[in-house]
Amino acid sequence: MKEVRDLKNSIEFTQSQVEELTKGNYDHKIKDLQVNIDNILEKTDDLENRSRRKNLCFEGIAEPYVRNEAWDQSEEQVKKIISEHMNLDAHGIKIERAHQVGTKKSSSDKPRNIIAKYF
């Protein structure tokens, strides 16, 4: 009889704890997490925007015949354009990276843009 009573008390205690957990207000925790996520997204967006500040986009540069052009080839194309069309000494310009955007779909498509990031 005592064992049954102890089991009953244990079940009632466990049941009350489960009820407290289910009644627990997790909405504020979820809202806090959402605020944190929004802050992180905002900071990420800001960092991406800041990283683009040293980028220049070059349009209309003829596609090379080489598929999957290397960064150094794109860099040379950019330096050539700077020298020929902007009358600047491109040898002094330091480019961190230069690459074509996207993939070439067919020979009739317009040339892909080249993004060059400067130091």
What pLDDT, in 10s, does the model give residues 47-106? 999 888 889 898 888 776 556 667 778 888 888 888 888 888 877 888 888 888 887 776
> Could you tell me the two tokens for 84?
């020929």
- For residue 4, the one-letter residue type is V
Q: Which CATH class is domain 54-118?
A: alpha beta
Report pLDDT for 52.
85
Would you say 96 and 115 are in contact if contact means Cβ atoms under 8 Å apart? Answer: no
Query: What predicted TM-score, i.e. pTM, was given to this entire model?
Result: 0.53
Say whether pLDDT at 45 is over 90.
Answer: yes
Question: Could you tell me the residue ranges of all domains in the chain?
Answer: 54-118
Of 22-26, 30-34, 112-116, minimum mean pLDDT range: 22-26
- For residue 106, the one-letter residue type is S
Average pLDDT over residues 14-39: 86
